[in-house]
Structures are given as C-alpha cells and as structure tokens.
Amino acid sequence: MALTDLKIRKAKQTDKAYRLSDGLGLSLLVRPSGTKSWQLRYQFMGREKILSIDQYPIILLSEARKRRDEAKKLLEDGFDPSVQKKLDNIDAHVKARMTFKEVADEYYVTLVDRGLADATLRKKRWHIEDLAKPLHKRPIDQINAAELLHLLKPIERSGRRETAKKLRATISAIFRLAMVTMRAPADPSAALKDALLPPKVKGRAAITDEKEFGQLLCRLDAYTGWPVIPAAMKFQILTCTRPGETRGARMSEFDLEARTWTIPPERMKMRREHKVPLSLQAFEIVMDNWSEIKGVDLLFPSLISNRKLISENAFNTVLRRLGYSGDEVTAHGFRVTASTILNSREHNPDVIEAILAHQDTNAIRRTYNRATYWDQRLEMMQIWADMCDEFKSLSTHRTSVRFRLRETIIIYL
C-alpha cells in the first residue's frame, strides 16, 4: 500500500528499526533514534543493492518518488544509481572548489610537499597572490585565453617579459591540476605561447677580463667594512658557488680533514648534493672564520646575529661600495667570470661544468654520464685559486709601477 504524508508523520520510533513501503522498491526507514530516511531497494548485475536517498522531512514523499523514478531510469540505461550518486557527490564537491584561487592554493601546497627551494616558493606565491589576483574569484572553468592575455600583456608592456613568461607557466601548471581534478576542460594558457614576446636574454653582469678582475680582487682585499662579507665573497669566488649557497654555508657541512664542503640537496638549485673540493686559499678562509661558539653553525653569520644568514643583497651592496654598478658585475656573475676565464685558457669544459654544478642539457648524456671528475676538479680548483692570486699580484704590480712613474714625473717637473 502506498504511503501518505499523514502516515509518514504518524510513524513512531520503536526499539528496532522498521520500514514503511511505498512500492516499486521505495521505503521509509524509521530508526530507534526517530530519524526517518528514504531508501530504494533494487537489483543490479544480479545483486540486490540499497540506495540511500535522503532524510525525511528534508525530502518529502513527492520528491522521494521523483528520485526513485530517476534511479529506475538509470537502471534502464544500464547505470548503477549508487555509483552515479557517488559521482554526483564528487562533482558537487569539486564544483565547490572551482575558483582559480582555490586551485592555485592546492597547487602551491604540492610545491611545498615536493620540497622546492624557498626562493622558488616565494616567487610562485608572488605569482599567485599578487600578479594573478584578478583571477582569484573567477570560476576556473570559465577563464579563457583572452582573459589571460589581458592579464599578461600589461606586464609584458612594462618591460617584464621574463615575468610574463614565468607567470604564464605558473598559470598553466594550475590549469593542469584543475584538468586532472575535473575542474577545467583544458588549459587556455597553452594558446598564449606565441602571443607573448620572448624575453630579452640578458646574461649575468660579470667581469671577464683578467686584469679588471684582478683589480676587483684587490679592492675586495682593501674593503674596510664588516670583514665577514668580503671573506664570504672571496670564498664564493674560490669555490665557484652561488651567492645563496655560500651565505648558507654551515660548519657541519665541512670535512676539515678531507678539505671538502658538501652542500645538501635542499640548498642546491638542481636539488642534488654538491661536493666541493677546497683549494688551500679557500680552506684558509674556512679556518679564519671557524667559530667555536656553542650553537653557532653558520660559517659566515650576519652582523645582527651569529645565527642568521648574511642578507641576500649584502654581496652586491659591497660591490656597489667598491664602485661597480649592477651593469658591470653582480655576485652571481663571479661564476661567469670563472667559467669564461677557465674556458679561455682551454681547460676541460666538462670539468668546469661539474665545478659549477650544472646539469647536462642533453637528457641521454645526463643519464649515462655519471662522472664527477673529482680528481680533475680538485686540481682545477687549486689552479683557479692560484690564478686569482696571480691576477691580484699583477694588478698590484701595475698599480705600483704607475704610482712610482707618477712620482718620478712630479720630481722631474
């Protein structure tokens, strides 16, 4: 006998759960707690199954019958109503997290979980929070290529072509995450590759002339500011490392007996451990800056605190005070200096690349070439340190000759 609203309302709870049938598999389950829930019994692939619809009175009798009929239609079409309900729930959950900002935040969490460098994470956060802010509240499946181009073109016109390119790459990665989680049908940023102007390639500002580099080294020796900073800069030059790797150097990373410095993967650009052989000159800097203070691990600590890194701009600030502009030289450019001079003197380019911790651009060669060139690197690092001393010596000699010549002319006059 079919149910009525009156019969449903009058249904009382008992010590045991019971059902009131409405026909065609639809029934109302009355639990001891007093809750009343609609259920549908049906057969699928020879098995009896139960589909939970919803509670009464959230769903009234007329709506429950409508849901039953929809489930029956699915069965006729060969679909399991229980499976379809799960898919609908997933779809509803996904649609509740459909804005660009919500997907972007999920993407950022994956970057953190992958252990990307802090500098990379800061740049990605800047892309998401600041540059892509106009997209934050937009449903991600409604964003199109024209909208993205409207966002990127002003950045490009301001002269920041590289920023526009990298922002497009970040947006593309966010859309790919949206695609695999069924929140976007495609990546509209893919159509913009040829719509943006290529970045103007500008190499790191660096001094590659041996005489001029010798003059810089002499000026660095004569620097009268906080001594830890020029010491760290000289150490960076001698080890051919990046400024951040040198600033973060910790005493626990050094093997004094073996005269080596092992930089852990998390502090390397390519996320691979890098072992650096130390020349006599570099080792002397290590020993001069070695601290026996308990709890201090940084080799080149900040003036503010011996437990804090030297500031990110410290090296370049010293270079400016020495009279060099940003177009002439940067701290990162010291690696260019070493590479250029060593290559010009026809040293083994593979060894030079290993010293610089560069990854081979050829994927096949990178896979099969596991050579570390340790012995050659050890020899070349000492050669490079001796060359730096030679450059300084020649520069000092020329300065001395010019000074004596000037005195002679003055006396003669």
The full length of the chain comes to: 413
Give the per-residue pLDDT at 377.
93
Q: Do domains 100-192 and 210-411 have the same CATH topology?
A: no
Domain ranges of the chain: 5-91, 100-192, 210-411
pLDDT at residue number 231: 95
| Distance (Å, whole) CA 216 – CA 229 | 15
pLDDT tens digits for range 307-365: 899 998 999 999 999 999 988 999 999 999 999 999 999 999 999 999 998 865 555 44
Q: What is the CATH number of domain 210-411?
A: 1.10.443.10
Q: What averages of pLDDT result for each successive group of 10 residues across the chain (413 residues)?
A: 83 88 87 88 85 86 87 85 81 72 94 84 93 92 94 91 92 94 91 83 78 93 91 95 93 95 87 91 95 89 89 92 91 92 92 84 48 87 95 72 46 45
Tell me: cis bond preceding 57? Omega within 30 of 0 counts. yes
Question: What tokens were used for 386?
Answer: 């001796």
CA–CA gap between residue 395 and residue 411 (Å, rounded): 25
Q: Is 56 exposed, middle or buried (0-12, 13-18, 19+ CB in 10 A)?
A: buried
Give the torsion through C-alpha atoms of 77, 79, 81, 84, to 10 deg: -120
Q: What is the pLDDT of residues 83-110, one digit of tens each?
A: 888 887 777 666 656 899 999 999 999 9
Tens-digit pLDDT profile for residues 9-31: 888 888 898 888 888 888 888 99
pTM attached to this predicted model? 0.58
Name the residue among 388, 383, 376 with its Cα closest to residue 349: 376
As its CATH architecture, domain 100-192 has Orthogonal Bundle (1.10)
Specify the amino acid at residue 394.
Answer: L
Q: Which CATH superfamily is domain 5-91 in?
A: Integrase, DNA-binding domain (3.30.160.390)
Query: Reading across the β-sheet that carries 254-255, which strands appear in turn?
Result: 254-255, 260-263, 274-277
Residues belonging to the active site: 242, 269, 332, 335, 358, 368
